[in-house]
């Protein structure tokens, strides 16, 4: 997926909306910050997500971090391949490394999600 | 720098029949084993224990002991942990039979000396806190947090108020939200502002009628004293909520300011950080708490009381108490060391402890900040959080690499990647017990490392038995049990590869 076409949460999750299905992943910046990944906890299919609330956890050698739902809805698919092999997430966070697919409650994305340019600027500011 | 060979395991050093046991000649008649025990009770063979001479064993453990890094052998600037030097004298005193040989089931009349000491510890901790009601029971800082939050919960229950939330800054120790959760509250995160202090707007927006407690660490984990604390206390008290102080950083403010005077209602101490309790090692620890006078009735029972005639006793008659949180009187050995430490220094001495801790941290900060920027200000309290992010961006050298390389310079690493609000964080706390020369040598090492070859740094440390461990493998598939088959598949002596060895040792 083209990172420029995605929306980003301030907590570094990305969203791609196709119809009423949102694909959710973790940005390359976040993955790089985490360094070596150890384990990821993803929700089961059927789980209802609340926007802004934790839907899972990712643990690296540095820290354990919550994954926050950028959209509200129901989990319709989980990327089991990533859970089994975190190298996929580390190397391809925007493609094969997607985490979950969500059937969204509303096809209007929350207003706090950022465009690529704004997100890039935000993380550049954080890096200084 | 020299390099040690990996010492062989005891099992690998074993040779059949080797032993130094010398048994006296038996003076009872011997009988075949089968005539003494039924066959079903007998093992098929002897247990697979290593056979070694006593000298083999002594050298083995002696060699292992030299691989340790400790405050007795190395500078240990582990931020937030206050790894100060603990005077050996306090250890010696704590081992005196008059203390160490007491039994908690003894009659109180025979424990008057111990009870007096504990009573004095209560009084002194209450005085330093500016909060007069003290419980010595909690066995660690985190249990102190939990106990204090249970006291707060009892307070709100008695008032008939439904208070479900505990507010916690994003720079807080991880124990804060854990304690809130265990005590039955929901943890609500409060953001830090650009200065590294509590974001007052975010705080105000989350403070409400459900707020029970705000858990504040002051100075906070980026080493800054939050001057907004009086305002925060006022806002909380206006809403009927309580202010909790995580006392992890008391080493910065002893005698300079009393938490109670800042509006704090409850707090815990970490004697292993502040008052010469043994550092880490899995305990025993202590996490005494001090609370406002009117909250004292909820403290765990018993507390040590003093009667008008000077007799000390355990006061069990506390009907509003939340109950016991620890057997007997808490971990007396740790509390006694705190007693020795506080009495030795006295009020003026404790102020000097904090002054020197703050001075040392600021001096070290000034020596390294041009290479390791300190995002949250040029001045600090007892610790500071430097960032390796410019090194990471420009040279691919991360906080982890620097921490590992410091081992080659005979320094323990600082805390890294905490607090989470600073990227590539190096959290450095030199403490008051280090000399100027040590601080300068450490700063020189940090500066030297920043200029070293990144590829070499990625593989550091180079001087240790185990170099860079595979932490992912160690976490995901640790090898915790040595099996003979493992040895048989590799050559004898020190045949195991470094990577095989690295994984279990860090797990």
3-state secondary structure A4-69: HHCEECCCCEEEEEECCEEEEEECHHHHHHHCCEEEEECCCCCCEECCCCEEEEEEECCCEEEEEC
Which of A126, A59, A62 has the alpha carbon at shortest distance from B427? Answer: A62
- The partner residues of A48 in beta bridges, in order of sequence, read A74
Assign B152 to helix, strand or coil: helix
B170 within domain boundaries: yes
Q: Which residues of B touch A (CB under 8 A)?
A: 389, 393, 398, 400, 416-418, 420, 423, 471-472, 475-476
User: Which residues, at least 6 apart from B374, have a Cβ–Cβ distance to it below 8 Å?
Assistant: B365, B380, B384, B385, B386, B387
Chain B residues with CB under 8 Å of A37 CB are 472
* Closest residue in B to A53 (Cα–Cα): B188
* Closest residue in A to B475 (Cα–Cα): A38
What is the distance, to the nearest Å, from the Cα of residue A109 to the centroid of all Cα atoms in its chain?
14
The residue behind tokens 């020189």 is: B444
pLDDT at B506: 31
pLDDT at B448: 97
Same domain, B139 and B52: no
| pLDDT tens for each residue of A9-33 | 999 999 999 999 999 999 999 998 8
B256 within domain boundaries: yes
- Please indicate whether, in this complex, the C-beta atoms of A39 and B418 are within 8 angstroms of each other: no
Which of B86, B91, B61, B64 has the alpha carbon at shortest distance from B76? Answer: B86
- Please indicate whether, in this complex, the C-beta atoms of A61 and B472 are within 8 angstroms of each other: yes
CATH number at residue A93: 2.40.50.100
- Please indicate whether, in this complex, the C-beta atoms of A63 and B420 are within 8 angstroms of each other: yes
Closest-CA distance of chain B to residue A57, Å:
15
B81 within domain boundaries: no
Beta carbons of B271 and B143 less than 8 angstroms apart: no
| pLDDT tens for each residue of B396-448 | 999 999 999 999 999 999 999 988 888 899 999 999 999 999 999 999 999 99
Q: How many domains does chain B have?
A: 2
Which of A31, A24, A96, A19 has the alpha carbon at shortest distance from A59? Answer: A31
* Closest residue in A to B373 (Cα–Cα): A128
- Please indicate whether, in this complex, the C-beta atoms of A37 and B417 are within 8 angstroms of each other: no
B55 within domain boundaries: yes
How many CB atoms lie under 10 A from the CB of residue B424?
Answer: 24
Domain range for residue A16?
A: 3-127
Which of B260, B145, B270 has the alpha carbon at shortest distance from B213? Answer: B145
Confidence of residue B269 (pLDDT cuts 50, 70, 90): very high
- If 0-12 CB within 10 Å is exposed, 13-18 middle and 19+ buried, where does residue B28 land? exposed
Closest-CA distance of chain B to residue A65, Å:
10
- Please indicate whether, in this complex, the C-beta atoms of A127 and B393 are within 8 angstroms of each other: yes
Q: How many domains does chain A have?
A: 1
* Vertex A124 angle, CA A122 and A126, to 5°: 70
Calculate the alpha carbon distances from A47 to A12, A69, A72, B88, B464 in Å. 21, 12, 11, 57, 48
Same domain, B30 and B142: no
- Please indicate whether, in this complex, the C-beta atoms of A36 and B472 are within 8 angstroms of each other: yes
Residue B33's H or E segment, with its range, is none
Handedness of CA B208, A106, A40, B403 (dihedral sign): negative
What is the distance, to the nearest Å, from the Cα of residue A41 to the centroid of all Cα atoms in its chain?
13
pLDDT at A127: 57
Same domain, B233 and B339: yes
CATH number at residue B191: 3.40.640.10
Alpha-carbon distance of B227 to B24, in angstroms, equals: 73
User: Which residues, at least 6 apart from A3, have a Cβ–Cβ distance to it below 8 Å?
Assistant: A14, A27, A28, A94, A116
Across A45-70, average pLDDT = 93
Alpha-carbon distance of B282 to B267, in angstroms, equals: 22
Assign B168 to helix, strand or coil: strand
Same domain, B164 and B17: no
Chain A residues with CB under 8 Å of B389 CB are 127
For an interface test with A, the pick among B376, B427, B471 (most A C-beta atoms closer than 10 Å) comes out as B471
Average pLDDT, chain B: 91
Chain B residues with CB under 8 Å of A32 CB are none
Structure tokens at A19: 């119809």
- Please indicate whether, in this complex, the C-beta atoms of A38 and B398 are within 8 angstroms of each other: no
Beta carbons of B234 and B263 less than 8 angstroms apart: yes
Domain range for residue B26?
A: 10-65
B470 vs B443: which has the higher pLDDT: B443
- The partner residues of A26 in beta bridges, in order of sequence, read A13
Structure tokens at B335: 């509390």
Weakest mean pLDDT among A45-49, B111-115, B325-329: B325-329
Confidence of residue B46 (pLDDT cuts 50, 70, 90): confident
User: Which residues, at least 6 apart from B256, have a Cβ–Cβ distance to it below 8 Å?
Assistant: B351, B354, B355
User: Which residues, at least 6 apart from B464, have a Cβ–Cβ distance to it below 8 Å?
Assistant: B3, B4, B67, B407, B408
B137 within domain boundaries: yes
Same domain, B48 and B164: no
Average pLDDT, chain A: 93
- Please indicate whether, in this complex, the C-beta atoms of B400 and A62 are within 8 angstroms of each other: yes
Same domain, B113 and B21: no
Alpha-carbon distance of B166 to B212, in angstroms, equals: 6
- Please indicate whether, in this complex, the C-beta atoms of A38 and B472 are within 8 angstroms of each other: yes
* Closest residue in B to A85 (Cα–Cα): B476
Q: Which residues of A touch B (CB under 8 A)?
A: 33, 35-39, 59, 61-63, 126-127
Taking the complete model, does pTM exceed 0.90, yes or no?
A: no
| pLDDT tens for each residue of A86-118 | 999 999 999 999 999 999 999 999 999 999 999
Structure tokens at B74: 């190395």
Phi, psi of B133 (to 5 degrees): -95, 125
């Amino acid at each position: 997926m083209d990172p420029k076409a995605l929306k980003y949460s301030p907590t570094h999750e990305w969203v791609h909306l196709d119809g009423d299905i949102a694909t959710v992943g973790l940005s390359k910046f976040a993955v790089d910050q985490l360094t070596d990944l150890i384990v990821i906890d993803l929700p089961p299919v059927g789980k209802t997500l609340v926007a802004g609330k934790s839907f899972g956890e990712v643990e690296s050698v540095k820290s354990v971090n919550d994954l926050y739902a950028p959209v509200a809805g129901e989990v319709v698919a989980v990327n089991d391949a990533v859970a089994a092999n975190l190298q996929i997430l580390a190397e391809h966070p925007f493609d094969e490394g997607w985490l979950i697919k969500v059937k969204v409650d509303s096809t209007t994305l929350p207003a706090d999600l950022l465009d690529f340019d704004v997100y890039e600027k935000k993380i550049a500011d954080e890096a200084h | 720098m020299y390099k040690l060979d990996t010492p062989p395991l005891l099992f690998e050093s074993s040779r059949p029949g080797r032993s130094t046991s010398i048994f006296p000649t038996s003076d009872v008649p011997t009988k075949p084993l089968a005539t003494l025990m039924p066959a079903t009770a007998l093992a098929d063979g002897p247990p697979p224990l290593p056979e070694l001479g006593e000298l083999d064993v002594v050298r083995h453990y002696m060699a292992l002991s030299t691989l340790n890094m400790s405050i007795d052998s190395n500078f240990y600037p582990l931020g937030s942990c206050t790894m100060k030097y603990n005077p050996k004298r306090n250890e010696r005193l704590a081992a005196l039979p008059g203390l160490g040989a007491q039994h908690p089931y003894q009659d109180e009349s025979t424990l008057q000396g111990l009870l007096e000491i504990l009573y004095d510890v209560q009084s002194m901790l209450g005085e330093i806190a500016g909060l007069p009601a003290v419980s010595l029971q909690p066995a660690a800082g985190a249990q102190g947090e939990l106990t204090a939050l249970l006291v707060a919960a009892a307070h709100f229950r008695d008032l008939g108020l439904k208070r479900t939330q505990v507010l916690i800054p994003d720079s807080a120790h991880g124990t804060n939200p854990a304690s809130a959760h265990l005590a039955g509250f929901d943890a609500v995160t409060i953001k830090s502002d650009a200065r590294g202090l509590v974001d007052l707007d975010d705080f105000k927006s989350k403070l409400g009628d459900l707020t029970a407690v705000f858990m504040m660490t002051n100075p906070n984990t980026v080493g800054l004293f939050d001057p907004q604390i009086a305002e925060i206390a006022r806002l909380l008290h206006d809403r009927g909520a309580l202010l909790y102080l995580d006392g992890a950083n008391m080493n910065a403010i002893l005698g300079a300011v009393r938490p109670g005077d800042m509006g704090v209602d409850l707090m815990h101490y970490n004697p292993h950080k502040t008052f010469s309790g043994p550092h880490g090692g899995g305990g025993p620890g202590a996490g005494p708490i001090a609370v406002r006078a009117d909250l004292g009735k909820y403290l765990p029972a018993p507390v040590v009381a003093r009667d008008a005639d000077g007799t000390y006793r355990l006061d069990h008659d506390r009907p509003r108490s939340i109950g016991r949180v620890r057997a007997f009187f808490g971990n007396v050995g740790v509390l006694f060391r705190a007693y020795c430490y506080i009495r030795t220094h006295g009020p003026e001495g404790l102020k000097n402890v904090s002054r020197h801790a703050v001075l040392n941290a600021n001096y070290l900060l000034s020596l390294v900040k041009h290479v390791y920027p300190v995002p949250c200000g040029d001045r600090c309290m007892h610790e500071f959080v430097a960032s390796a992010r410019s090194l990471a961006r420009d040279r691919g050298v991360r906080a982890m690499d620097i921490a590992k390389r410091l081992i080659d310079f005979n320094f323990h690493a600082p805390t890294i990647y905490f607090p989470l609000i600073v990227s590539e964080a190096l959290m450095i706390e030199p403490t008051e017990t280090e000399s100027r020369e040590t601080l300068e040598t450490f700063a020189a090492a940090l500066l030297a490392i920043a200029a070293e070859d990144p590829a070499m740094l990625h593989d550091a440390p180079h001087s240790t038995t185990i170099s860079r461990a595979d932490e992912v493998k160690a976490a995901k598939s640790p090898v915790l049990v040595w099996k003979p088959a493992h040895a048989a598949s590799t050559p004898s002596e020190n045949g195991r590869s470094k990577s095989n060895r690295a994984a279990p040792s860090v797990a």
